[in-house]
Amino acid sequence: MLLESYAATDTGPVREHNEDSWGADVDAGLFVVADGMGGHAAGEVASRLAVETVTEIMLEEEDPDETRLLLAVDDPADRIRERLRYAMNQSSVRIRKAVESNPGQAGMGTTLVVLLVEGSEAHLAHVGDSRIYLFRDGQLQRLTRDHTVVQQEVDAGRLTPELARTVPHKNILTKSVGYHGPVDPDATTRGVQHGDVFVLCSDGLTDPLPDSDIQTLCAEKHPEDLAQALVDAALVGGTEDNVTVVVVVVSED
Ligand code: CA
């Protein structure tokens, strides 16, 4: 499959820093978005460390720890998902190490979503409330389930998805990279096909925009303009947060 990628990010009208980070390596098929948290610009450090760590580990040969970890894993897709989970855990380790040498950054952490497209398969892994969507055949599908208190309440039937968008505690995470220690990312594998458009984003996009608005823009915009159009729509929609979008377009060789 051939991949193209477009990204856009904006600090937004309120925050002093952009604590989101992103990475895109089209040749490797690796795409990452991280939304950092922590005072005094520590969120920036955490999200950047996470993107760097995942990129480094996934692009390099397996290290001895990984090889040991993967010894009993035969299925190629299982191996990739285990590597993604390992890379995300190493991000957590590096963030906590950074805090040890700079206690002013205590409490910093980040969300992390990773998409790895290899051949005809997409491997996804995530922690937190950054998301990956798939736009296919005119329909938008959310491929990740937020690790938030509110999502748990929706799953338990105590809150409707519509109401969940409005409650004040909607951004409280049940999982994050760094602050919470070892992480247990969700990881899945699915097939890709010609014309698929993946959208990776931070919650600065999805707080102001319902999925229906994101779907409309995916349908209307040329993929080349989509990332910037989504960020612009979030800003017009009144986001107070940093906004980051990475768009990945799949086509046949
Ligand atoms: Ca955010």
Query: Domain residues for 86?
Result: 2-251
Name beta bridge partners: 198.
134, 248
Q: What is the pLDDT of residues 105-136, one digit of tens each?
A: 999 999 999 999 999 999 999 999 999 999 99
As a whole number of angstroms, the distance between CA 151 and CA 234 comes to 21
Greater model confidence, 72 or 250: 250
Q: What is the band of 21 on the pLDDT scale with cuts at 50, 70, 90?
A: very high
Say how many Å lie between the CA of residue 129 and the centre of ligand 1. Answer: 9
As a whole number of angstroms, the distance between CA 24 and CA 7 comes to 8
Say how many Å lie between the CA of residue 72 and the centre of ligand 1. Answer: 37
The count of residues in the chain is 253
CATH number at residue 10: 3.60.40.10
Q: Residue type at 37?
A: M
Cβ proximity of 21 and 114 under 8 Å: no
Q: What is the pLDDT of residue 69?
A: 84
How many CA atoms does the CB half-sphere of 8 hold within 13 Å?
A: 20
Q: What is the pLDDT of residues 142-180, one digit of tens each?
A: 999 999 999 999 999 999 988 998 898 888 999 999 987
Residue spans of beta strands (DSSP E) within the chain:
2-10, 20-25, 30-37, 109-110, 112-118, 121-127, 131-136, 139-142, 186-191, 197-201, 243-251
Nearest to 201 by CA among 236, 168, 242, 167: 242
As a whole number of angstroms, the distance between CA 195 and CA 105 comes to 42
Average confidence (pLDDT) over 90-105: 93
Say how many Å lie between the CA of residue 27 and the centre of ligand 1. Answer: 28
Q: What is the pLDDT of residue 235?
A: 97
Say how many Å lie between the CA of residue 19 and the centre of ligand 1. Answer: 8
Radius of gyration (Cα) for the chain, nearest Å? Answer: 17
Q: What is the pLDDT of residue 116?
A: 98
Say how many Å lie between the CA of residue 244 and the centre of ligand 1. Answer: 9
Q: What is the pLDDT of residue 70?
A: 87
Percent of all residues in the chain with a pLDDT value above 90, rounded to a whole number? 84
Q: What is the pLDDT of residues 35-90, one digit of tens each?
A: 999 877 799 999 999 999 999 999 988 888 888 888 888 899 999 999 999 999 99
Q: What is the pLDDT of residue 213?
A: 97
Cβ proximity of 156 and 106 under 8 Å: no
The number of distinct structural domains making up the chain is 1
Say how many Å lie between the CA of residue 147 and the centre of ligand 1. Answer: 13
Average confidence (pLDDT) over 207-213: 96
Nearest to 22 by CA among 31, 12, 13, 10: 31
Say how many Å lie between the CA of residue 119 and the centre of ligand 1. Answer: 32
Say how many Å lie between the CA of residue 78 and the centre of ligand 1. Answer: 30
As a whole number of angstroms, the distance between CA 129 and CA 108 comes to 16
What are the Cα distances from residue 73, in Å, to 69, 80, 105?
A: 8, 10, 37
As a whole number of angstroms, the distance between CA 198 and CA 59 comes to 21
Q: What is the band of 137 on the pLDDT scale with cuts at 50, 70, 90?
A: very high
Nearest to 203 by CA among 36, 2, 41: 36
Label residue 175 exposed, middle or buried (CB < 10 Å: 0-12, 13-18, 19+). buried
